[in-house]
Amino acid sequence: MALGAPPLAFGGMGDKADWGDDFVRHLFDVCKEEIEAGNIPMGIFTTTGWKNVAFKFAEKSGDK
């Protein structure tokens, strides 16, 4: 990765994701869990909330 280039998860030139219904449902589910856990005060995910979303989403989608 070039210096200053964004990581693949944040818009780099990786393979395109398949955002099927199940994939989107997993994302909604993990975001909902973090909202219910209080990790989105004032409408913005906390650092812990984002880390949990990324980890749980990867875990549920099989992309560990």
In a domain, 18, yes or no: no
Total domains in the chain come to: 1
Overall pTM surpassing 0.85 (yes/no): no
Burial track 3-24 (b if 16+ CB lie within 10 A, e otherwise): eeeeeeeeeeeeeeeeeeeeee
pLDDT band at 10 (very low <50, low <70, confident <90, very high): low
| Predicted local distance difference test score (pLDDT) of residue 50 | 94
Domain holding 55, by residue range, is 40-64
pLDDT band at 61 (very low <50, low <70, confident <90, very high): confident
Instruction: Give the pLDDT confidence of 13-39 residue by residue, as tens digits.
Output: 566 767 789 889 989 999 999 999 999
| Integer CA distances (angstroms), 1 to 8, 11, 15, 63, in order | 9, 13, 15, 20
In a domain, 23, yes or no: no
| Side chain identity, residue 4 | G
60, 29 Cβ separation under 8 angstroms: yes
In a domain, 15, yes or no: no
In a domain, 52, yes or no: yes
